[in-house]
Amino acid sequence: MYERNVSHIEALVQEQNEWRGRCVNLIASENVTSRRVRGVMGSDFAHRYAEGHPGERYYQGTEIIDEIEGLLKQHMKGLFRCRHADVRPISGTIANDAVFSRYIRPGDVVMVNSTPGGGHISHHRVGAVGKYTKNIVNFPVTPDGYHIDVDHTMELLKALEPKVMILGKSLFLFPEPVKELAPVCKRRGIALIYDAAHVLGLVAGHQFQDPLAEGAPLVTGSTHKTFFGSQRGVILSNVDDDEWRKIDKGAFPGSSSNHHLETLVALSVSTYEMLEFGVEYARQVVANAKHLARRLHDLGFKVEGAEFGFTESHQVAVDVSDLGGGDAAARTLKDNGIIVNMNLLPFEPLDHVTNPAGLRLGTQEMTRVGMKEPEMEAIAGFFGKVLLGKKFVGDEVKEFRSKFQDVQYSFDA
């Protein structure tokens, strides 16, 4: 009776595949996986459980996933040059919650980046941090809004005595002051946590700051943004073994039971791709972001961070408040085959969230399909025609995108 409904779902999936293959996707939190990665999904592992650690499972029949997970942990530790890696979190937010649950107690003061300042929702009152404390204080920022004011932070740190400081952002153009804050946090017993969800692939490719090397003892991340894997999370650390055991329990049983083995296997394949191609890929991602920002600026767009070179990451932030706001601009671009997201900009009121001033652009996915600086120039041109010239370029975008269908920086070839 319901077979036609199944066929309808299958048709919708095919429609999605074809549509997004025609679009220029600049969502900063997305990426595409390679054919080899997709090829190991849908296996028998999609049906299985493996609670605990390799070799110490609560289930029988896990010998093969034990080997795969063990290799993944080994390679993650090598890739990020750290003592510990937990690959069991099934998302970046779950990784955050696993760590937050170990370090934040009711009433603790926690310092975070504000929502308009780029902070992720899991860092705030309505997210994971808010489950453990309501004493959440935003870092003070410099007048440009994209950098933490370190001197003012030091004053607040002494006055408020926070237990946890969370660095890293969702709107993440420039590195965080890890070197400046890490020594102070260590002396005062403050847990310094760096959320690398957006920049994990750039860190792996040595094209962004290395928070662990700069002194952050704990790093969380998503594995599907600039890190081009399946949708999962990871916890990385250089703490001692006793401290790590506390974090380990936050991941299991604290925030997960079974940890979705199908996507773990896929992550193991994409990690090999990152080991092989990560430096070249990350270098091109950042180069593309810088070039896109510059060309948009030259066309007359209000690109944020101009005095600092616009960006040091995969992201570009554009103020489109004079063009109807972020919601209107994003919808118009989508109708032309260009996918972006609206975003609050620094110092905006939270009640602007439904139509903020900004657009957040990311170059990682289009880099993965082979685009470089000339293509960033073309994309900037599309923005100009659509948002400044009020022209329809959907057919041009479709033709442009048709030349970039194969995933690069992979073992597909």
Full domain range(s) for residue 81: 38-271
**Residuewise pLDDT in 10s, the chain (413 residues):** 788 899 999 999 999 999 999 999 999 999 999 999 999 999 999 999 999 899 988 899 999 999 999 999 999 999 999 999 999 999 999 999 999 999 999 999 999 999 989 898 888 888 889 899 999 999 999 999 999 999 999 999 999 999 999 999 999 999 999 999 999 999 999 999 999 999 999 999 999 999 999 999 999 999 999 999 999 999 999 999 999 999 998 888 878 888 999 999 999 999 999 999 999 999 999 999 999 999 999 999 999 999 999 999 999 999 999 999 999 999 999 999 999 999 999 999 988 889 999 999 999 999 999 999 999 999 999 999 999 999 999 999 999 999 999 999 999 97
- 164 and 122 in one domain? yes
Last residue of a domain, one of 244, 271, 298: 271
CATH number for position 56: 3.40.640.10
- 137 and 114 in one domain? yes
**Count of domains observed in the chain:** 2
Q: Report how far residue 235's alpha carbon sits from residue 278's, in angstroms, rounded to the nearest whole number.
A: 19
- 132 and 74 in one domain? yes
Q: Report how far residue 327's alpha carbon sits from residue 356's, in angstroms, rounded to the nearest whole number.
A: 7
Residue 154 lies in a domain: yes
Q: Report how far residue 106's alpha carbon sits from residue 114's, in angstroms, rounded to the nearest whole number.
A: 20
- 254 and 233 in one domain? yes
CA-based nearest residue to 157, from 178, 184, 191: 184
**Would the pTM count as exceeding 0.75?**
yes
Residue 397 lies in a domain: yes
The DSSP line for 218-245 is: EEEEESSSSS-SSS-EEEEE---HHHHH
Residue 82 lies in a domain: yes
Residue 358 lies in a domain: yes
Q: What is the DSSP letter of 386?
A: I
Token digits of residue 48: 């299985």
Largest distance between two CA atoms of the chain: 67
Instruction: Determine the Cα angle at 247 with ends 209 and 81, to 5°.
Output: 35
- 286 and 224 in one domain? no
- What integer pLDDT is reported at residue 372 of this predicted model? 98
Helix (H) / strand (E) element for 164: namely strand 164-167
Residue 15 lies in a domain: no
- 254 and 379 in one domain? no
Last residue of a domain, one of 210, 237, 271: 271
